[in-house]
Structure formats: C-alpha cells, structure tokens
Chains A and B, each alone.
Chain A
Amino acid sequence: ILNVEQSPQSLHVQEGDSTNFTCSFPSSNFYALHWYRWETAKSPEALFVMTLNGDEKKKGRISATLNTKEGYSYLYIKGSQPEDSATYLCAFRSGTYKYIFGTGTRLKVLA
C-alpha cells in the first residue's frame, strides 16, 4: 500500500516567522510530486509540480525542494503572513498516474 505522510499535522507560527513542513512518499515508481494550498471553503490551489530529483521551486515567499531517492519534499514559507494560513497538501503521483494525497499540514499564522 502506497502511503504519503505529512508532518506536522498542524502548527501555529507568529507573523514574520519562517516555517517548513515535510512530505514523505514512496521512493519507487515516482512520476511527480504536487503541493497544494487549500483554504477553507475554496478549491485547493496548485503551488508546485516537481518531477526531478533535486528540483527546487519558488513562488514568492514559498519554496519547495524534492528528494526522490529518499522520498521526501520540504515546503518552506519565509516571513509567514496571516494570509498564508491554510492547509498545505502534498500529492504523490506514481507511474500509473494516480494521485495519493497526504492528510495535510494545517498552518495558522498569528498576527
């Protein structure tokens, strides 16, 4: 059974703090790793698609790294703002093109 784990499950940070969370996924049959940002009552929003070992992607204050050999990805948020409060989901896409999601990391940024 393929499993995707995210940690921590939730965290609170102060405005201006930097933070990071982890997504662990199977290291075999890798096709792509996706990160999504999901605010309550909205659609999950795609942040990054990562396909190559060693990939680093950046969008504003958010960045992500990928290690396919050991099966993990980190998402970093620099200088957190209250509007960054959301659930951050990762999804592993295997060679059979199916998506397996983690349970998400719920981030709350306190003003």
Chain B
Amino acid sequence: GAVVSQHPSRVICKSGTSVKIECRSLDFQATTMFWYRQFPKQSLMLMATSNEGSKATYEQGVEKDKFLINHASLTLSTLTVTSAHPEDSSFYICSATVAGSYEQYFGPGTRLTVT
C-alpha cells in the first residue's frame, strides 16, 4: 500500500516551453502533497505544500507564477514549470501524506532537463 506515482520520469524540453509533472497517490487519498527539488549533491528542498482544493503554500524564494501547482483531487497534484530555462533543470520529486499520519510517501521523481 501507500504507492505514489510520478509522471514523466524524465523530460527534456526547450527553453521557453512549459512542462507539467503529475503526482498521483494510487491506493490512498492524500490530504497533502509536497513538491521538492534536488540539485546535484544537495538535499531535497521543499518547494511548496499543496492541500486538496486550496492554493499551494510556497517556500521562500520559490516563484509561484513560475511553478504552478494544482491539487484538484485527493489523488492528483500537478506541478507545471512555466517558461522553463536551463537553470530549472533539476530533479523534482513529490510526496503525499494522509491527515493525522507522521509518514510521507514519495514518488520516484522526475528528471527535468531544459536545453
């Protein structure tokens, strides 16, 4: 149980285009989903927290107009990187939690390369 999928696993896009990443909880309803970014040799850095049906809460320094998060249902959250630039190339990973639980369940991540 507690499986989270993420799609796509890898994406290469041209500078200026937008990319959407999906995060799905497959066998449970996720009240909260988190989006993280990891640059090489660095730790997972929280970008934003999203609760189903409400606006995401972004961490300091993360542009909400550039990284659009939609959490339309209890099993799906999407992250759209708008007008991507090479500096947005990174590893993006989501996780999902259930209200009242200590645990968060991770997807396998998405490697984004912007050329």
Contact = CB atoms under 8 A, between A and B. Distances in A.
Do A and B form a real pair?
Answer: yes
B34 A43 contact: no
Between B42, B43, B102, B106, the greatest number of chain A beta carbons within 10 A of the residue's beta carbon is seen for: B43
A100 B44 CA distance: 8
A25 B100 CA distance: 23
A49 interface: yes
B111 to A, nearest CB: 10
Given A99-B34, A101-B44, A103-B43, A49 B102 contact: yes
B4 A104 contact: no
B106 A4 contact: no
Give the interface size class of chain B. 20 to 34
A103 B34 contact: no
Interface string B93-115: 10000000011111111000000
A73 to B, nearest CB: 15
Interface in A77-111: 89, 91, 93, 98-104
